[in-house]
């Protein structure tokens, strides 16, 4: 029963938009779509992150989880992950990959793969997923390790070549594309979660109402169908506390990963 205005605040891996929400009035009228990038990876990648992903937000509910998908440009002569790694090693530092920006999940996913497979590629950060997707379509970059919804339709149309899925199991959206783990790197996992959050201090009654309504939306056949079409899984947290607990675990995980790989963005 409310008009929802979407205000895109791109940049800095989505942290600009997240920060704007953290600093808004906690009345339930300003919300953000928090992601793995903005609320888990950023905690480890930025030493001066302007918000605390846990303390500065009210975590309401997850809405979707999606695998990360490694695709190459149609011009890149690699039919699978093994050929891609061999190609990258043979042209050390000459090939490149695009991302949605420094410190985003699209950045860290490829850095995790580089670390696991021991190859080097130049990183070209863009301002958004859309910009990175345009770069891979035009052949300006050799590869992108991006979210399934952003890349799926172009992969199905043959405009980019899907060579590996980042989750532990294959995606029903692209059942013929093997996982990174299947192709020689057991334990590798890269996925994107998305959840609705507001600023810290929101009234419990408002949070409970939003959680109940979000859960109802996520359960709608139309929403599930839309997520399935884009290679994502519709999923709602059983409670706001469950979402908060999950987030704490994600922050701990990615702080360790960014430290181990040596990613620092400030």
The whole-number pLDDT of residue 101 equals 85
Q: Is the pLDDT of residue 27 over 90?
A: yes
Secondary structure string (H, E, C) spanning the chain: CCCCCCCCCCCHHHHHHHHHHHCCCCCCCCCEEEEHHHHHHHHHHCCCCCCCCCCCEEEEEEEEEEEEEEEEECCCCCCCHHHHHHHHHHCCCCCEEEECCCCCHHHHHHHHHHHHHCCCCEEEECCCHHHHHHHHHHCCCCEEEEEHHHHHHHHHCCCEEEEEECCCCCCCCCCCCCECHHHCCCCCCCEEEEEEEEECCCCHHHHHHHHHHHHHHHCCHHHHHHHHHCCCEECCCCCHHHHHHHHHHHHHHHHHHHHHHCCCCC
Can you tell me the mean pLDDT for 86-115?
A: 91
pTM of the model: 0.81
Cα–Cα distance, 168 to 171 (Å, whole number): 9
Question: What are the phi and psi torsion angles at 160 (to 5°)?
Answer: -135, 160
The whole-number pLDDT of residue 141 equals 97
Angle at 71 between CA 85 and CA 177, to 5 degrees: 90
Give the model's confidence band at 114: pLDDT under 50 very low, under 70 low, under 90 confident, else very high: very high
| Residue recorded with tokens 């980019």 | 160
Of 51, 20, 47, 61, which is closest to residue 193 (Cα–Cα)?
Answer: 61
The whole-number pLDDT of residue 14 equals 87
Cα–Cα distance, 226 to 144 (Å, whole number): 23
**pLDDT by residue (tens digit) across 51-68?**
999 999 999 999 999 999
Query: Is 30 within 8 Å of 21 (Cβ atoms)?
Result: yes
Q: Is the pLDDT of residue 147 over 80?
A: yes
Q: What is the mean pLDDT of the chain?
A: 93
Can you tell me the mean pLDDT for 73-95?
A: 93
Can you tell me the mean pLDDT for 69-83?
A: 94
Tokens encoding 182:
């299947």
Query: Is 47 within 8 Å of 15 (Cβ atoms)?
Result: no
**pLDDT by residue (tens digit) across 226-244?**
999 888 999 999 999 999 9
Comparing 149 with 143, the larger pLDDT belongs to 143
């Amino acid at each position: 029963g409310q008009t929802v205005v979407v205000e895109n605040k791109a940049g800095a891996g989505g942290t600009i938009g997240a920060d704007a929400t953290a600093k808004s009035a906690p009345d339930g009228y300003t919300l953000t779509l928090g992601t793995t990038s903005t609320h888990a990876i950023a905690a480890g990648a930025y030493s001066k992150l302007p918000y605390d992903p846990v303390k500065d937000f009210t975590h309401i509910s997850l809405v979707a989880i999606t695998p990360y998908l490694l695709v190459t440009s149609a011009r890149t002569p690699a039919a699978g992950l093994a050929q891609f790694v061999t190609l990258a090693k043979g042209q050390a530092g000459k090939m490149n990959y695009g991302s949605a920006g420094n410190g985003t999940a699209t950045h860290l996913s490829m850095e995790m793969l580089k670390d696991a497979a021991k190859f080097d590629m130049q990183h070209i950060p863009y301002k958004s997923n859309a910009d990175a997707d345009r770069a891979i379509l035009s052949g300006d970059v050799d590869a992108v390790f991006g979210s399934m919804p952003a890349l799926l339709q172009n992969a199905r149309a043959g405009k980019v070549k899907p060579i590996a899925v980042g989750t532990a199991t294959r995606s029903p959206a692209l059942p013929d594309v093997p996982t990174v783990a299947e192709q020689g790197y057991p334990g590798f996992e890269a996925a994107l979660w998305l959840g609705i959050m507001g600023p810290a201090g929101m009234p419990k009654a408002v949070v409970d109402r939003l959680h109940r309504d979000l859960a109802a939306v996520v359960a709608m056949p139309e929403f599930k169908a839309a997520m399935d079409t884009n290679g994502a899984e519709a999923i709602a947290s059983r409670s706001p506390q469950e979402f908060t607990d999950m987030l704490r675990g994600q922050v701990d995980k990615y702080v360790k990963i960014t430290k181990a790989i040596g990613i620092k963005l400030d």
